[in-house]
């Protein structure tokens, strides 16, 4: 174990940076940028330190002692409320195999988004301050083990995101920003309600043996901690667990975004500046599925078992529907946005299988979609920076004009299509293997394979539109990718190909945890 | 002979109250509206006194009525000052024309 | 030579082209001479594969397998512990394929040095050849379905890149996309098939799966699933080997550079489908085999009929490739395993030779591809002509050629199949195709090389290709002669290839799901294990062996007859001009339509590819346009309409719901606003009203 | 006499306030020329009152005990609950005095400045008694004392028509409401024979009264209190008066006067209609009137109406007026659960509401001072030109929405905890959906400040040191209580005692 509170550091370092930035005079945008880059860089280093010290054999999931890098101390402790007993909220951080890949992903994507933000010229100070705040929120969501803390991090992200889209976005930014805000807030009120409900249904045993109500999400997973009459307690015959499950699921589903809650996504993506699209697709969408795996699955295993077909069904709808809509798009970025909808469907499908393979695939797909879609958005950004248009019909023949760029696009596109040798293939394959292996989701898996075909369809169609054919003379002066862009595209390509060849690099991290999770959901604690 | 009892007082009070409310809602002139308010207050006063007198509750009710009368006077003073102010600015005291503040 | 050395060499053969690709693609821009590095790499790989082939064939009768664990899943709660392994398996077929792939790849590399000279993406071209070779070798070497699928997709990628190599041309870009997507359709089937097997056996490895099937462990407890798995995996082959109805991509793929067509779309990649079926041969049930046989036979027939009238030199070759692939697939379907693979090898050589030859012609004619504009090239390009002629003889099944040996075996196989099962349509189609093949191939030769030149301008500039281009032709033509395969030009069985190199494996599916003739008879069961050491033909039952013997000479004579007829007709039409093809077509038009209704297929395919629209009245055209081509091709109409509708749905309904709620809240707000009149008396009235309402609502009990 | 002495001991803060009022009025009369020091008298008086309050915070008991009645029941109850609200009022008042230093509107009237503070002190005195009163007559008197002062204050500046209009509307509406309430009181008196809440409670425990009349009386009284807390449908005066009144007074009305109103409502219901509090902190109502349903209906109506109307507002004061109506709805939710948990939620919420609402008004005032803008559409680009005020405004508004990590979230959290604990899930869902709706209009201000490009160069608003400190004083706890709310809850937890019969 490491001698310093590494999780707190990795989470709150950006806030520190934000405060520093507020003291840097407005006239020095360079300093602000380099400071942000340094902060996110240190985050990556910390994430690698975490990985290096990570014990692959500890499961976590529901057991406090097998979580790693735990930091836990009392944050709020209000005694003497006769009717509530002691109100105690812990500052409780820790990671297991489910959150570790997400922490890695967040660090990497933030760093790359930070490089991508170099082109920002409007109110640089404000931009990077908000960016770093967003970073803290994202990291916090993945490391928090107390529901209350989780919820705070979850909501902290809303406002920076609103501003980042709203101030630095495209023409319809105001609409997109508020739409994002309203949708996610709508989702999170359900999470809040369930959180309170669970609070009243769970007790935690203190050191002195007394039992108090708790927000500790690990305690919520153990039926032994249920109160007798809590509204979401499994012991209470009139419990509302089913409704709570749906509410919680809906709250997270909006973030995924799951059909039919997905319409905020294309708008947000199209209007957001490139780095924010990268963050949005790379990390934020993962929070939805992460939340479902972290809360819905272990806390409500019996309902998860009942609803697995439905989860898979929504996954399937996402896959097919997203792909079909993507086919009809004329805007490059919108197309990528819908492809995200489609790809997140695989995550849902894999999760629905309730098998190790499927859930491994789902989490791996979360990671891979993060890197691949981040790259796709960077690619859109490259072309948009030069041409100031994203219309698919406006281009043509760029392959000869920008060969290096085309090379990266090929990597990203084929990774998105799920070409073997790239990370996306492994995760999609695992998802299908998992979903197909279970009777409940088998038919869904078969139908979902159509998504592979449609994916190839829209991706190749786009590829042809933009890169093939005779060069559109309008873009004869277009330059190939520069060093800064290379510095973003190369690491992502390397990650994508490396994980395509050596998927165990990520899969091994989560194996133990996923097995434990599946066991918990399928067989109970 | 008809014995005048509590009920009669209450009926009078109710009528006064209703008249007061009616006046408040329908009169155009601000002063008339204020009169309506006085009627409502006095309806309450009648109640207090009547209850105090007929139900054997002691003198509390009658004392209350005194308080209310004093307060009504104070209120009237402030009200008239404000109405005066209104007159200065709007050159009339028709309260249905004073509707600049609205949605 | 130890087993581990063979393994190591094979791995080296596999990864050398990848090295070539990586180096050339990354540094090719800076060092334009790097294509030589790629060529060198392939030469080394070829030499290694030669060594491996001889070592394996000479000293190791058994499979050599090496594998490692790729992904560990730990111990899953319900399924127990399982891992995903990758590995290579080297048997005789593998090493022969290694040799074939590397040889043709090398020759194509050499050919391309001249052919592609001056192209602006010259080095990139060679790097693509490298990645293709790598992917193809992966398919050859794999010992499991997952790796098969992985490399399957990777050849799809390299095919995509190479077909679209001249992406400035819209047709090339379209063709590359079409190829990838049509292949994907097949791949999905294959993927589901693999899923069926994995879901039941928790492994991707061929041997492990077959061991479980042999143990009577059916997928989901029903042999129908086994049939389904077989057919679904075969769907992958349908895509890659351009079988009906997914064959539409291959003719379009001729948009790629001609050497690429030779390497990928004639000799190697398209044969991967056949190779896949040989790999899963042992788990095919009778139903699956029949399906495969029918698909193969039908494909070969459809393609042959189409090839009869093509005028683009590469298109003719492309359809002939489809037709020959259909042959191989059919051969596997009827159980003639060894001949199928044999034909794969011989076909690879002579078809590569033809493609390279056509490349040579096209090169000489300044990228003229229409045979109606050629003629008389024999004098100008003698080496090209003679090599082409040898290959043509081979494909027509003229004795003394390799093609005769392999084709004859296949025909015998179909004949035997017809006799054994009563499915006579299959041999009928097979023989018809043999005749048509001979006809259209000779038509091609005659129109191209004989007669008077029809485009004098181009003819005058034509000249024999440089040495680097003709050398591969000569090598390949030489390999199309029987002597490399058997000392006896009329009995392939007696040759070393069929007698000792290609061993027909025993099926593992339960007896009741096999064809009768595939069931081992009593004598057989006693010494199972050694049966693979056979005398050439399928040895699964004595009945079958006898039938094959019965069929052997009948098939030979029949095939000779039909081939001769075909050649004769070709000469009659195009050399002696005794018959006028145009007139004939005019004269027998109604009959033509009626009797050879399949011709429509060709027209419909052609028209959809060009126009995207065609009146559909006949079942075929409808089927073709809407489902086969329509779903994927340039029109992609159905998909588009659906996606448009979903797009609309998304904008107006899903989004609309959200906006509607916003609107509703706005409306409610407006309603409330109406209350705020600004008149204080109204407010007071509201209060009084509210008091009354509250009193009515909450009046006690 | 001992009784009187003890009583005076208990109402020391009120006495201090009264003395401050007298001193202020006297000084105002004596010094004609220079009145600059007058506000400091008010400030001093408020501080001394505050100190007395703090000193008194652990004291509880009845003042002015009427010995002729059963037990020790007084006119004024001094308890921790009352002290809590009085402290809120004092804090608000002190802040408002500082606001007034910054306010251009108030600074323009130099000659009548004494009256302004005198009226303010009078109003505070009224609120203090209102908070503690346990007798209907005292309630009515203190309500009137408070109202009469506020009528004048609403129209105090007389700078524009709208000041006078606001005053007139407030006057008429207020008078009618208090008239209705008085009529209700008279009926209640008639039914129970007393104006003392405790006595009424006892009488109701063994009811023989006419239930219909009782309901009528209750509703009339509710109308009076509802007007004070601007609960729908008694809220109609609020937007008009808030818009018309000087911004300092608007802010004051929205917090202090609402606090007093809520204290009254809670105390009135708790002491009059609750029979006992069980061990889990639930209040058992006397089964004479269905307060629960009435209050649920009103609170839902209030928050819904407030939120939905606010969407359409362009004037920031008017928008904040509707927002304060909505918040009154949320606050009433704390009461409808009828438990100590709900009461705790109200107390916590009120402190937070004080901070964020005053903060929002303060920023709006500073902007209006400099630019004259009260229309949200004129705020375009202000966030960029005035970063400090912009960020502060964002924090206040986000807190009003109730998002973490601001204090507003904690307020909402406690409310919902109380609701879920009482298993009133439907109400909780409605309230949550309402808070989503509220996002629209709060964020609209943010949108205009940051997202919408201004048509012309926006004037930068640079707050001076005084204003900066004032804003900071409000921002810091708004953020701090969002992250570390333990002291706040502990304070509220110790302020739940409402003197009653038990």
pLDDT over 60 at A478, yes or no: yes
Which tokens sit at C164? 């679209």
- Name which of C188, C149, C402, C379 is nearest C276 in CA terms: C149
Closest CB to D219 among C662, C672, C695: C695
Q: Cβ–Cβ of C700/D212 closer than 8 Å? A: yes
Contact criterion met (CB below 8 Å) for D61 and D500: no
pLDDT score, position D301: 92
Number of Cβ within a 10 Å radius of residue D47: 16
Is the preceding peptide bond at D15 cis, omega within 30 degrees of 0?
A: no
Contact criterion met (CB below 8 Å) for D251 and D357: yes
Distances in Å between the Cα of B85 and the Cα atoms of A435, B32, B75, C647 are 79, 16, 15, 63
* All partners of chain C with 3 or more CB pairs under 8 angstroms: A, B, D
Closest CB to A166 among D439, D450, D493: D450
Greatest alpha-carbon pair distance for chain B in Å reads 58
pLDDT score, position C596: 42
Give, rounded to a whole angstrom, the gap between the first and last alpha carbons of chain B. 58
Question: Which residues of chain B make contact with D144, given a CB cutoff of 8 A?
Answer: 71, 74-75
Distances in Å between the Cα of D320 and the Cα atoms of D65, D255, D433 are 42, 12, 19
pLDDT score, position C602: 42
pLDDT more than 90, % of chain A: 45
Tell me the CB-side half-sphere exposure of residue A199, using CA atoms within 13 A: 27
State the DSSP string of C267-318: ISHHHHHHHHHHHHGGG--HHHHHHHHHHHHHHHHHHHHHHTT--BHHHHHH
Residues 648-667 of C with CB under 8 A from A: 650, 654-655, 657-658
Contact criterion met (CB below 8 Å) for C686 and C675: yes
Distances in Å between the Cα of A492 and the Cα atoms of A134, C154, D432 are 21, 20, 41
pLDDT score, position C400: 83
C656 → chain A, closest CA residue = A263
d(CA C480, CA A161): 68
CA distance D301 to chain B (A): 19
pLDDT score, position C655: 61
pLDDT score, position C615: 34
Which pLDDT band holds residue A1 (cuts at 50, 70, 90)? low
CA distance C675 to chain B (A): 9
d(CA D318, CA C676): 12
Place of tokens 């004769």: C568
Closest CB to D233 among C682, C686, C695: C686
CA distance C660 to chain B (A): 23
Q: Cβ–Cβ of B82/D183 closer than 8 Å? A: no
pLDDT more than 90, % of chain C: 2
Distances in Å between the Cα of C151 and the Cα atoms of A471, B3, C14, C96, D196 are 32, 111, 11, 18, 91
d(CA C656, CA C662): 10
Question: Which residues of chain C make contact with B33, given a CB cutoff of 8 A?
Answer: 681
Contact criterion met (CB below 8 Å) for C145 and C185: no
Instruction: Flag whether residue D286 sits within 8 Å of chain C, measured between CB atoms.
Output: no
Global pTM?
Answer: 0.90
Q: Cβ–Cβ of C694/D294 closer than 8 Å? A: yes
* ∠ CA C429-C430-C434, rounded to 5°: 115
Contact criterion met (CB below 8 Å) for A112 and A491: yes
D439 → chain C, closest CA residue = C662
Q: How far is CA C88 from the centre of its chain?
A: 22
CA distance C568 to chain A (A): 45
Contact criterion met (CB below 8 Å) for A287 and A137: no
Beta strands in A150-259, from DSSP E residues, in sequence order: 203-205, 211-213
Q: Cβ–Cβ of D403/A192 closer than 8 Å? A: no
Question: Which residues of chain A make contact with C128, given a CB cutoff of 8 A?
Answer: none
pLDDT digits (tens, 9 = 90+) for A142-171: 999 999 999 999 999 988 999 999 889 888
Question: Which residues of chain A make contact with D282, given a CB cutoff of 8 A?
Answer: 83
Q: Which residues contact A367 (CB under 8 A, 6 or more apart)?
A: A101, A102, A104, A105, A423, A427, A499, A506
- The answer to which of A367-371, C108-112, C307-311, D371-375 has the lowest mean pLDDT is C307-311
What is the dihedral sign for C-alpha C211, C213, C215, C221?
positive
- Residue C86's SS3 state is strand
- Name which of C300, C436, C308, C304 is nearest C371 in CA terms: C308
Which pLDDT band holds residue C242 (cuts at 50, 70, 90)? confident
pLDDT score, position C611: 34
d(CA C344, CA C351): 10
State the DSSP string of D103-135: -HHHHH--TTHHHHHHHHHHHHHHHHHHHHB-B
CA distance A187 to chain D (A): 10
pLDDT score, position C599: 44
pLDDT score, position C313: 84
Question: Which residue in C658, C681, C700, C701 has the most chain D C-beta atoms within 10 A of its own C-beta, making it the best mutation to test that interface?
Answer: C700
Closest CB to D420 among A155, A167, A196: A196
pLDDT score, position C628: 35
Closest CB to C666 among D168, D214, D311: D311
Instruction: Flag whether residue B21 sits within 8 Å of chain C, measured between CB atoms.
Output: yes
pLDDT score, position C76: 67
Q: Cβ–Cβ of D233/C697 closer than 8 Å? A: no
CA distance A290 to chain D (A): 20
pLDDT digits (tens, 9 = 90+) for A15-29: 999 999 988 988 888
Q: What is the 3-state secondary structure (H, E, C) of B41-68?
A: HHHHHHHHHHHHHHCCCCCHHHHHHHHH
- Residue A437's SS3 state is coil
Domains contained in chain B, CATH given: 6-102 (1.10.287.3510)
d(CA D83, CA D495): 8
CA distance A332 to chain C (A): 15
pLDDT digits (tens, 9 = 90+) for A317-344: 888 888 877 877 778 888 898 899 899 9
Question: Which residues of chain C make contact with B24, given a CB cutoff of 8 A?
Answer: 681, 684
Beta strands in C360-437, from DSSP E residues, in sequence order: none
Closest CB to C74 among A259, A429, A511: A511
Which pLDDT band holds residue C536 (cuts at 50, 70, 90)? very low
Q: Which residues contact D473 (CB under 8 A, 6 or more apart)?
A: D95
CA distance A251 to chain C (A): 16
Question: Which residue in C195, C200, C657, C660 has the most chain A C-beta atoms within 10 A of its own C-beta, making it the best mutation to test that interface?
Answer: C195
Q: Cβ–Cβ of D168/B98 closer than 8 Å? A: yes
In this prediction, residues C247-264 reach a mean pLDDT of 85
Q: Cβ–Cβ of D404/A151 closer than 8 Å? A: yes
Is chain A in touch with chain B: ≥3 Cβ pairs within 8 A? no
Which pLDDT band holds residue C606 (cuts at 50, 70, 90)? very low
Residue, of D308 and A106, whose pLDDT is higher: A106
- Paired residues of A331 in beta bridges: A391
Instruction: Flag whether residue D480 sits within 8 Å of chain A, measured between CB atoms.
Output: no
Instruction: Flag whether residue A518 sits within 8 Å of chain C, measured between CB atoms.
Output: yes
Contact criterion met (CB below 8 Å) for C354 and C265: no
pLDDT over 90 at A367, yes or no: yes
Instruction: Flag whether residue C225 sits within 8 Å of chain A, measured between CB atoms.
Output: no
Distances in Å between the Cα of C554 and the Cα atoms of C427, C551, D86, D302 are 12, 5, 114, 98
Q: Cβ–Cβ of A262/C654 closer than 8 Å? A: yes
ipTM: 0.86
d(CA D351, CA C609): 75
Which pLDDT band holds residue C560 (cuts at 50, 70, 90)? confident
Give me the tens of pLDDT residue by residue for chain D, a chain 502 residues long.
567 888 888 889 999 999 999 999 999 888 877 778 888 999 999 999 999 999 988 888 888 877 655 566 788 889 999 999 999 999 999 999 999 998 888 888 888 888 899 999 999 999 999 999 999 999 999 999 999 999 999 988 877 778 888 999 999 999 999 999 999 999 999 888 888 888 888 888 886 778 888 899 999 999 999 999 999 889 999 999 999 999 999 999 999 999 999 999 999 999 999 988 888 888 988 888 889 999 999 999 999 989 888 888 889 999 999 999 999 999 999 999 999 889 999 999 999 999 999 999 999 999 988 888 888 888 888 888 888 999 999 999 999 999 888 999 999 999 998 998 888 889 999 998 888 888 888 988 998 888 887 777 777 888 889 999 999 999 999 999 998 999 999 999 888 888 876 4
Closest CB to C198 among A399, A433, A457: A433
- Residue D74's SS3 state is strand
* All partners of chain B with 3 or more CB pairs under 8 angstroms: C, D
The burial of A298, by beta-carbon neighbours within 10 Å (0-12 exposed, 13-18 middle, 19 or more buried), is given as buried
To the nearest 10 degrees (0 to 180), the angle between helices D258-273 and D80-102 is 170
Contact criterion met (CB below 8 Å) for C158 and C131: yes
Contact criterion met (CB below 8 Å) for D440 and A162: no
Question: Which residues of chain D make contact with C673, given a CB cutoff of 8 A?
Answer: 309, 312
Closest CB to C684 among D173, D214, D239: D173
Distances in Å between the Cα of A20 and the Cα atoms of A14, A17, A32, A119, A128 are 10, 5, 9, 21, 11
Q: Cβ–Cβ of C681/B24 closer than 8 Å? A: yes
pLDDT digits (tens, 9 = 90+) for C633-687: 443 454 455 556 655 655 665 565 556 666 666 677 777 777 888 888 888 888 8
Contact criterion met (CB below 8 Å) for B33 and B78: no
- Residue D30's SS3 state is helix
What is the dihedral sign for C-alpha C97, C103, C109, C111?
negative
- The answer to which of C112-116, C330-334, C579-583 has the lowest mean pLDDT is C579-583
Question: Which residues of chain A make contact with C79, given a CB cutoff of 8 A?
Answer: 355-357, 437
Tell me the CB-side half-sphere exposure of residue D288, using CA atoms within 13 A: 29
CA distance D463 to chain C (A): 34
Closest CB to D177 among C672, C687, C700: C687
Q: Which residues contact D256 (CB under 8 A, 6 or more apart)?
A: D88, D89, D92, D93, D96, D123, D124, D127
- Name which of D297, D501, D472, D315 is nearest D392 in CA terms: D472
pLDDT score, position C462: 77
Beta strands in A262-347, from DSSP E residues, in sequence order: none
D298 → chain C, closest CA residue = C694
């Amino acid at each position: 174990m490491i001698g310093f509170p590494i999780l707190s550091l990795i989470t709150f370092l950006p806030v520190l940076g934000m405060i520093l930035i507020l003291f840097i005079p407005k006239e020095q945008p360079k300093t602000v940028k380099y400071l942000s880059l340094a902060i996110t860089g240190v985050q990556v280093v910390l994430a690698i330190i975490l990985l290096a010290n990570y014990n692959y054999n500890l499961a976590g999931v529901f057991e406090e002692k097998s979580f790693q890098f735990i930091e836990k101390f009392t944050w709020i402790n209000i005694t003497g409320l006769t009717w509530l007993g002691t109100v105690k909220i812990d500052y409780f951080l820790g990671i297991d195999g489910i959150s570790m890949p997400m922490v890695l992903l967040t660090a990497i994507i933030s760093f790359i988004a930070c490089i991508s933000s170099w082109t920002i010229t409007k109110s640089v100070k404000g931009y990077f301050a908000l960016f770093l705040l967003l970073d803290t929120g994202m990291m916090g969501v993945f490391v928090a083990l107390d529901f209350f803390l989780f919820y705070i991090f979850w909501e902290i992200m809303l406002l920076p995101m609103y501003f980042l889209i709203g101030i630095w976005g495209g023409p319809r930014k105001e609409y997109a920003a508020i739409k994002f805000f309203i949708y996610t807030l709508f989702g999170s009120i359900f999470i809040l309600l369930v959180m309170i409900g669970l609070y009243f249904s769970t007790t935690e045993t203190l050191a002195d043996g007394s039992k108090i109500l708790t927000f500790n999400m690990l305690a919520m997973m153990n039926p032994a901690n249920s109160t007798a009459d809590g509204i979401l307690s499994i012991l209470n015959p009139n419990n509302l667990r089913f409704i709570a499950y749906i509410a919680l699921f809906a709250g997270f589903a909006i973030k995924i975004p799951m059909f039919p809650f997905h319409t905020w996504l294309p708008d947000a993506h199209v209007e957001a500046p490139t780095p924010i699209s990268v963050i949005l697709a790379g990390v934020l969408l993962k929070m939805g599925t992460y939340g479902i795996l972290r809360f819905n699955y272990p806390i409500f295993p019996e309902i998860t078992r009942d609803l697995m077909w439905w989860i898979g069904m929504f996954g399937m709808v996402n896959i097919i529907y997203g792909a079909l809509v993507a086919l009809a798009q004329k805007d490059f970025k919108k197309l990528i946005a819908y492809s995200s909808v489609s790809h997140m469907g695989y995550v849902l499908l894999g999760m629905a299988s309730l098998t190790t393979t499927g859930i491994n695939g789902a989490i791996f797909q979360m990671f891979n979609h993060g890197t691949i879609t981040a790259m796709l958005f960077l690619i859109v950004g490259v072309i948009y920076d030069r041409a100031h248009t994203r219309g698919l019909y406006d281009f043509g023949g760029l392959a000869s004009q920008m060969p290096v760029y085309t090379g990266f696009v090929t990597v990203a596109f084929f990774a998105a299509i799920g070409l073997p040798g790239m990370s996306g293939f492994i995760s999609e394959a695992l998802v299908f293997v998992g979903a197909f292996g279970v009777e409940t989701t088998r038919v869904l898996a078969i139908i979902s394979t159509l998504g592979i075909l449609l994916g190839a369809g829209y991706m190749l169609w786009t590829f042809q539109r933009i890169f093939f054919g005779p060069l559109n003379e309008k873009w004869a002066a277009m330059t190939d990718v520069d060093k800064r862009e290379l510095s973003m595209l190369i690491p992502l390509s390397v990650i994508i190909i490396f994980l395509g060849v050596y998927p165990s690099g990520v899969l091994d991290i989560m194996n133990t945890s996923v097995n434990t999770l599946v066991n918990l959901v399928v067989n109970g604690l | 002979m008809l014995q005048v009892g509590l009920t009669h007082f209450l009926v009078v009070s109710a009528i006064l109250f209703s008249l007061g409310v009616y006046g408040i809602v329908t009169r155009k002139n601000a002063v008339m509206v204020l009169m309506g308010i006085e009627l409502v207050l006095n309806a309450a006063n009648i109640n207090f006194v009547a209850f105090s007198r007929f139900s054997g509750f002691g003198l509390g009710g009658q004392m209350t009525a005194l308080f209310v009368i004093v307060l009504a006077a104070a209120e009237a003073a402030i009200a008239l000052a404000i109405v005066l102010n209104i007159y200065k600015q709007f050159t009339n005291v028709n309260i249905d024309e004073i509707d600049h503040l609205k949605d | 030579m130890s087993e581990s050395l063979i393994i190591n060499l094979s791995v080296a053969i596999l990864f050398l082209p990848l090295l070539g690709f990586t180096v050339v693609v990354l540094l090719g821009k800076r060092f334009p001479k790097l294509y030589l590095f790629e060529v060198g790499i392939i030469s080394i790989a070829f030499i290694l594969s030669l060594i491996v082939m001889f070592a394996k064939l000479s000293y190791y009768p058994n499979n050599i397998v090496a594998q490692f664990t790729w992904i560990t899943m730990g111990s899953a709660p319900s399924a127990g512990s399982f891992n995903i392994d990758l590995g290579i398996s080297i048997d005789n077929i593998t090493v022969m394929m290694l040799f074939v792939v590397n040889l043709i790849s090398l020759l194509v590399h050499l050919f391309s040095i001249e052919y592609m000279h001056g192209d602006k993406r010259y080095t990139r071209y060679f790097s693509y050849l490298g990645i293709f070779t790598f992917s193809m070798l992966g398919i050859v070497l794999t010992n499991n379905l997952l790796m098969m699928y992985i490399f399957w997709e990777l050849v799809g990628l390299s095919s995509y890149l190479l077909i679209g190599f001249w992406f400035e041309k819209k047709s090339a870009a379209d063709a590359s996309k079409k190829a990838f997507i049509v292949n994907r359709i097949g791949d999905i089937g294959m993927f589901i098939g693999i899923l069926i097997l994995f879901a039941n056996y928790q492994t991707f490895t061929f041997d492990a799966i077959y061991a479980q099937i042999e143990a009577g462990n059916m997928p989901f407890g029903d042999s129908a699933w086994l049939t389904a798995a077989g057919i679904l995996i075969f769907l992958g082959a349908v895509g890659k080997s351009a079988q009906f109805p997914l064959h539409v991509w291959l003719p379009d793929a001729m948009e790629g550079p001609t050497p690429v067509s030779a390497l990928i779309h004639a000799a190697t990649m398209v044969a991967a489908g056949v190779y896949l079926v040989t790999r899963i041969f042992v788990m095919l049930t009778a139903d699956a085999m029949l399906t495969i046989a029918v698909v193969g036979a039908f494909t070969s027939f459809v393609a042959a009929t189409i090839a009869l009238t093509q005028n683009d030199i590469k298109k003719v070759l492309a359809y002939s490739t489809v037709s020959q692939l259909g042959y191989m697939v059919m051969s596997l379907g009827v159980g003639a395993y060894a001949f199928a693979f044999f034909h794969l090898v011989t076909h690879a050589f002579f078809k590569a030779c033809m493609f390279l030859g056509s490349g040579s012609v096209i090169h000489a004619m300044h990228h003229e591809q229409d045979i109606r504009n050629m003629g008389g090239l024999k004098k100008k390009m003698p080496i090209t002509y003679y090599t082409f002629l040898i290959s043509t003889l081979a494909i027509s099944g003229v004795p003394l050629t390799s093609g005769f040996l392999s084709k004859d075996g296949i025909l015998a196989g179909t004949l035997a199949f017809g006799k054994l099962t009563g499915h006579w349509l299959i041999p009928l189609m097979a023989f018809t195709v043999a005749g048509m093949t001979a006809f259209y191939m000779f038509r091609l030769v005659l129109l191209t090389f004989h007669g008077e030149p029809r485009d004098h301008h181009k003819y005058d500039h034509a000249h024999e290709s440089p040495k680097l281009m003709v050398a591969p032709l000569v090598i390949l033509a030489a390999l199309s002669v029987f002597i490399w395969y058997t000392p006896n030009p009329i009995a392939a069985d007696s040759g070393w290839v069929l007698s000792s190199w290609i061993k027909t494996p025993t099926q593992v599916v339960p007896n009741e799901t096999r064809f009768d003739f595939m069931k081992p008879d009593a004598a057989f069961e006693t010494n199972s294990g050694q049966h693979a050491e056979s005398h050439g033909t399928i040895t699964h039952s004595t009945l079958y062996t006898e039938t094959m013997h019965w069929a052997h000479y009948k098939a030979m004579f029949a095939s000779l007859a039909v081939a001769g007829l075909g050649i004769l007709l070709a000469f009659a039409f195009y050399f002696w001009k005794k018959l006028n093809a145009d007139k004939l077509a005019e004269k027998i038009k109604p009959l033509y339509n009626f009797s050879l209704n399949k011709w429509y297929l060709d027209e419909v395919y052609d028209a959809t590819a060009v126009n995207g629209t065609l009146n559909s009245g006949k079942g075929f055209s409808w089927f073709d346009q809407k489902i086969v081509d329509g779903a994927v091709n340039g029109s992609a109409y159905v998909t588009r309409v659906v996606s448009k509708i979903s797009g609309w749905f998304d904008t107006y309904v899903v989004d609309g719901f959200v906006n509607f709620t916003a609107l509703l809240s706005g409306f409610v707000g407006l309603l409330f606003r109406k209350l705020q009149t600004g008149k204080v008396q109204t407010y007071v009235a509201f209060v009084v009203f509210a008091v009354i309402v509250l009193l009515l609502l909450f009046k006690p009990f | 006499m001992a009784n009187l002495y003890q009583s005076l001991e208990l109402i020391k803060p009120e006495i201090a306030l009264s003395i401050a009022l007298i001193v202020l009025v006297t000084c105002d009369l004596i010094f004609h020329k220079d009145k600059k020091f007058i506000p400091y008298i008010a400030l001093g008086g408020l501080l001394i009152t505050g100190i007395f309050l703090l000193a008194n915070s652990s004291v509880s008991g009845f003042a002015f005990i009427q010995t002729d009645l059963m037990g020790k029941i007084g006119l004024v109850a001094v308890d921790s609950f009352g002290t809590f609200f009085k402290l809120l009022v004092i804090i608000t008042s002190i802040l408002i005095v500082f606001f007034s230093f910054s306010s251009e509107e108030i600074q323009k009237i130099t000659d009548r400045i004494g009256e302004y503070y005198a009226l303010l002190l009078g109003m505070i005195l009224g609120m203090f008694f209102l908070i503690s009163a346990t007798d209907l007559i005292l309630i009515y008197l203190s309500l009137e004392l408070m109202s009469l002062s506020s009528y004048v204050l609403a129209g105090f500046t007389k700078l524009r028509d709208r000041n006078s209009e606001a005053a007139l509307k407030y006057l008429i509406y207020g008078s009618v409401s208090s008239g209705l309430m008085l009529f209700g009181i008279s009926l209640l008196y008639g039914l129970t024979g007393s104006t003392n809440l405790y006595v009424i409670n006892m009488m109701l425990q063994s009811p023989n009264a006419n239930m219909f009349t009782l309901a009528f009386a209750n509703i009339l009284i509710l109308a009076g209190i509802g007007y004070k807390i601007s609960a729908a449908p008694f809220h109609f005066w609020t937007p008009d008066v808030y818009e018309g009144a000087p911004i300092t007074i608007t802010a004051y009305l929205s917090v202090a006067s609402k606090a007093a109103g809520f204290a009254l409502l809670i105390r009135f219901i708790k002491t009059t209609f609750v029979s006992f509090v069980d061990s889990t902190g639930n209040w058992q109502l006397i089964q004479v009137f269905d307060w629960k349903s009435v209050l649920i209906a009103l609170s839902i109506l209030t928050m819904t109406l407030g939120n939905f109307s606010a969407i359409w507002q362009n004037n920031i004061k008017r928008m904040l007026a509707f927002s304060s109506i909505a918040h009154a709805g949320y606050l009433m939710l704390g009461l409808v659960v009828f438990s100590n948990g709900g009461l705790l939620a109200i107390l916590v919420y009120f402190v937070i509401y004080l901070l964020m609402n005053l903060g929002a008004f303060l920023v709006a005032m500073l902007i209006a001072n400099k630019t004259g803008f009260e229309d949200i559409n004129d705020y375009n680009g202000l966030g960029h030109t005035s970063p400090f005020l912009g960020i502060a405004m964002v924090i206040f508004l986000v807190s009003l929405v109730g998002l973490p990590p601001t204090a507003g979230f904690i307020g909402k959290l406690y409310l919902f905890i109380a609701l879920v604990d009482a298993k009133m899930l439907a109400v909780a869902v409605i309230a949550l959906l309402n808070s989503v709706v509220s996002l629209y209009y709060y964020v609209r201000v943010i949108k205009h400040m940051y997202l919408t490009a201004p048509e012309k160069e926006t004037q930068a608003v640079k707050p001076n040191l005084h204003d900066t400190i004032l804003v900071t004083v409000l921002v810091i706890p708004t953020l701090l209580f969002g992250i570390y709310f333990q002291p706040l809850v502990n304070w509220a937890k110790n302020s739940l005692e409402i003197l009653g019969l038990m």
